[in-house]
Protein backbone atom coordinates (compact mmCIF):
# COMPACT_ATOMS: atom_id res chain seq x y z
CA UNK A 1 0.00 0.00 0.00
CA UNK A 2 1.23 3.46 -0.84
CA UNK A 3 0.66 6.87 0.71
CA UNK A 4 3.39 9.47 1.03
CA UNK A 5 1.73 11.83 3.51
CA UNK A 6 2.36 11.44 7.24
CA UNK A 7 0.56 14.46 8.75
CA UNK A 8 -3.24 14.36 8.62
CA UNK A 9 -6.23 16.46 9.68
CA UNK A 10 -9.69 15.18 10.54
CA UNK A 11 -12.05 15.19 7.56
CA UNK A 12 -9.21 15.44 5.04
CA UNK A 13 -9.39 13.25 1.92
CA UNK A 14 -6.52 10.81 1.39
CA UNK A 15 -5.70 8.30 -1.36
CA UNK A 16 -4.04 4.90 -0.95
CA UNK A 17 -3.04 2.43 -3.67
CA UNK A 18 -2.69 -1.28 -3.02
CA UNK A 19 -2.98 -4.73 -4.50
CA UNK A 20 -6.51 -6.16 -4.81
CA UNK A 21 -5.75 -8.97 -2.38
CA UNK A 22 -5.18 -6.32 0.32
CA UNK A 23 -8.62 -4.76 -0.18
CA UNK A 24 -10.30 -7.26 2.16
CA UNK A 25 -10.65 -7.13 5.93
CA UNK A 26 -7.44 -8.07 7.80
CA UNK A 27 -9.34 -9.84 10.60
CA UNK A 28 -10.09 -13.51 11.05
CA UNK A 29 -13.47 -15.11 11.72
CA UNK A 30 -14.30 -17.47 14.59
CA UNK A 31 -13.48 -20.34 12.22
CA UNK A 32 -9.90 -18.95 11.94
CA UNK A 33 -10.33 -17.96 8.28
CA UNK A 34 -9.68 -14.49 6.94
CA UNK A 35 -12.79 -12.32 6.68
CA UNK A 36 -14.03 -12.19 3.09
CA UNK A 37 -15.66 -8.74 3.39
CA UNK A 38 -14.24 -5.73 1.56
CA UNK A 39 -12.69 -3.31 4.01
CA UNK A 40 -14.42 -0.09 5.09
CA UNK A 41 -11.77 1.25 7.48
CA UNK A 42 -7.98 1.46 7.17
CA UNK A 43 -5.65 1.69 10.19
CA UNK A 44 -2.15 3.05 9.51
CA UNK A 45 -0.15 2.21 12.63
CA UNK A 46 2.71 4.37 13.89
CA UNK A 47 5.03 1.34 13.51
CA UNK A 48 4.36 1.34 9.74
CA UNK A 49 1.95 -1.61 9.61
CA UNK A 50 -1.42 -1.19 7.90
CA UNK A 51 -4.57 -3.13 8.82
CA UNK A 52 -8.00 -2.98 7.25
CA UNK A 53 -11.39 -3.77 8.73
CA UNK A 54 -14.85 -4.38 7.37
CA UNK A 55 -17.96 -2.87 8.99
CA UNK A 56 -18.21 -5.57 11.66
CA UNK A 57 -17.72 -3.78 15.00
CA UNK A 58 -15.84 -6.71 16.55
CA UNK A 59 -13.23 -6.56 13.77
CA UNK A 60 -12.58 -2.85 14.29
CA UNK A 61 -12.44 -3.40 18.04
CA UNK A 62 -10.01 -6.31 17.57
CA UNK A 63 -7.56 -4.13 15.63
CA UNK A 64 -7.87 -1.27 18.14
CA UNK A 65 -7.33 -3.45 21.21
CA UNK A 66 -4.79 -5.93 19.78
CA UNK A 67 -2.39 -3.75 17.81
CA UNK A 68 -2.65 -0.32 19.44
CA UNK A 69 -0.66 -1.27 22.55
CA UNK A 70 2.71 -0.30 24.04
CA UNK A 71 2.58 3.24 22.67
CA UNK A 72 1.55 2.26 19.13
CA UNK A 73 -1.00 4.70 17.71
CA UNK A 74 -2.86 4.77 14.41
CA UNK A 75 -4.27 7.13 11.86
CA UNK A 76 -7.75 5.87 10.99
CA UNK A 77 -9.31 6.34 7.55
CA UNK A 78 -12.92 5.67 6.52
CA UNK A 79 -13.31 4.38 2.95
CA UNK A 80 -15.16 6.72 0.60
CA UNK A 81 -14.75 4.95 -2.77
CA UNK A 82 -12.83 2.26 -4.64
CA UNK A 83 -11.32 2.83 -8.05
CA UNK A 84 -10.18 -0.29 -9.89
CA UNK A 85 -7.08 0.40 -11.96
CA UNK A 86 -6.38 -3.07 -13.32
CA UNK A 87 -6.74 -6.71 -12.28
CA UNK A 88 -4.09 -6.38 -9.57
CA UNK A 89 -4.33 -2.80 -8.32
CA UNK A 90 -6.89 -0.49 -6.71
CA UNK A 91 -6.87 3.13 -5.61
CA UNK A 92 -9.08 4.08 -2.69
CA UNK A 93 -10.17 7.46 -1.43
CA UNK A 94 -10.64 7.84 2.32
CA UNK A 95 -11.55 10.51 4.80
CA UNK A 96 -9.47 10.86 7.96
CA UNK A 97 -11.58 9.97 11.00
CA UNK A 98 -8.85 9.58 13.62
CA UNK A 99 -5.31 10.92 14.02
CA UNK A 100 -2.76 9.29 16.35
CA UNK A 101 -5.48 7.36 18.20
CA UNK A 102 -4.68 4.70 20.76
CA UNK A 103 -6.46 1.68 22.27
CA UNK A 104 -8.49 3.89 24.64
CA UNK A 105 -10.48 5.34 21.73
CA UNK A 106 -14.01 4.39 20.84
CA UNK A 107 -13.68 1.88 17.99
CA UNK A 108 -16.89 3.11 16.31
CA UNK A 109 -15.74 6.73 16.45
CA UNK A 110 -11.95 6.61 16.87
CA UNK A 111 -11.66 10.37 17.24
CA UNK A 112 -13.38 10.09 20.64
CA UNK A 113 -10.98 9.03 23.37
CA UNK A 114 -11.96 7.98 26.88
CA UNK A 115 -10.21 10.93 28.49
CA UNK A 116 -12.09 13.44 26.32
CA UNK A 117 -14.87 15.06 28.31
CA UNK A 118 -18.23 15.90 26.83
CA UNK A 119 -17.51 19.60 27.42
CA UNK A 120 -14.22 19.41 25.47
CA UNK A 121 -15.96 17.61 22.61
CA UNK A 122 -18.84 20.08 22.55
CA UNK A 123 -16.40 23.01 22.59
CA UNK A 124 -14.36 21.49 19.77
CA UNK A 125 -17.43 20.77 17.67
CA UNK A 126 -18.85 24.24 18.35
CA UNK A 127 -15.54 25.84 17.37
CA UNK A 128 -15.56 23.88 14.07
CA UNK A 129 -19.18 24.85 13.44
CA UNK A 130 -18.35 28.51 14.11
CA UNK A 131 -15.44 28.34 11.68
CA UNK A 132 -17.66 26.79 8.99
CA UNK A 133 -20.32 29.46 9.62
CA UNK A 134 -17.66 32.16 9.32
CA UNK A 135 -16.45 30.61 6.04
CA UNK A 136 -20.04 30.50 4.73
CA UNK A 137 -20.57 34.17 5.62
CA UNK A 138 -17.32 35.11 3.89
CA UNK A 139 -18.44 33.23 0.75
CA UNK A 140 -21.85 34.94 0.85
CA UNK A 141 -20.13 38.32 1.18
CA UNK A 142 -17.96 37.55 -1.87
CA UNK A 143 -21.00 36.35 -3.84
CA UNK A 144 -22.90 39.55 -2.94
CA UNK A 145 -19.95 41.66 -4.08
CA UNK A 146 -19.73 39.68 -7.31
CA UNK A 147 -23.47 40.13 -7.91
CA UNK A 148 -23.15 43.90 -7.36
CA UNK A 149 -20.20 44.02 -9.75
CA UNK A 150 -22.11 42.07 -12.43
CA UNK A 151 -25.20 44.29 -11.95
CA UNK A 152 -23.09 47.45 -12.35
CA UNK A 153 -21.32 45.98 -15.36
CA UNK A 154 -24.66 45.14 -17.00
CA UNK A 155 -25.90 48.71 -16.29
CA UNK A 156 -22.75 50.14 -17.87
CA UNK A 157 -23.24 47.88 -20.90
CA UNK A 158 -26.85 49.04 -21.20
CA UNK A 159 -25.76 52.70 -20.97
CA UNK A 160 -23.04 52.12 -23.59
CA UNK A 161 -25.59 50.43 -25.88
CA UNK A 162 -27.97 53.41 -25.44
CA UNK A 163 -25.09 55.83 -26.19
CA UNK A 164 -24.16 53.83 -29.27
CA UNK A 165 -27.77 53.95 -30.50
CA UNK A 166 -27.88 57.71 -29.89
CA UNK A 167 -24.65 58.27 -31.86
CA UNK A 168 -25.92 56.06 -34.68
CA UNK A 169 -29.17 58.07 -34.88
CA UNK A 170 -27.21 61.34 -34.89
CA UNK A 171 -24.95 60.07 -37.69
CA UNK A 172 -27.98 59.00 -39.74
CA UNK A 173 -29.56 62.42 -39.19
CA UNK A 174 -26.41 64.17 -40.38
CA UNK A 175 -26.23 61.95 -43.47
CA UNK A 176 -29.85 62.52 -44.36
CA UNK A 177 -29.88 66.27 -43.79
CA UNK A 178 -26.50 67.40 -45.00
CA UNK A 179 -25.87 68.64 -48.51
CA UNK A 180 -22.50 68.66 -50.15
CA UNK A 181 -21.75 71.92 -51.98
CA UNK A 182 -18.34 71.96 -53.56
CA UNK A 183 -16.62 75.26 -53.11
CA UNK A 184 -16.11 77.28 -56.27
CA UNK A 185 -13.36 79.32 -54.72
CA UNK A 186 -9.87 78.21 -55.55
CA UNK A 187 -7.84 76.98 -52.69
CA UNK A 188 -5.36 79.53 -51.46
CA UNK A 189 -1.83 78.67 -50.89
69-108 pLDDT per residue, tens: 898 999 999 888 877 767 778 888 888 888 888 888 877 7
The mean pLDDT of the chain is 83
Q: Summarize the confidence of residues 142-156 as an average pLDDT.
A: 94
Q: Are 66 and 42 in contact (CB under 8 A)?
A: no
Q: Are 45 and 67 in contact (CB under 8 A)?
A: yes
Q: Which residues pair with 74 in a beta bridge?
A: 45, 101
Q: pTM above the 0.85 mark?
A: no
32-68 pLDDT per residue, tens: 888 888 889 999 999 889 999 998 888 988 888 899 9
The backbone torsions φ and ψ at residue 84, rounded to the nearest 5 degrees and listed phi first, read -75, 130
Amino acid sequence: MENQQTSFKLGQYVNFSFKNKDSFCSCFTKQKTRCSNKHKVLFQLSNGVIYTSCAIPAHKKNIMTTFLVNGVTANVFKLMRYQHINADEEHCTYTVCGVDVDHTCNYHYPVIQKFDTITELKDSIQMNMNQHESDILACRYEIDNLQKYVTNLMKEMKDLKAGQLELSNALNYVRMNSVFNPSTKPLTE
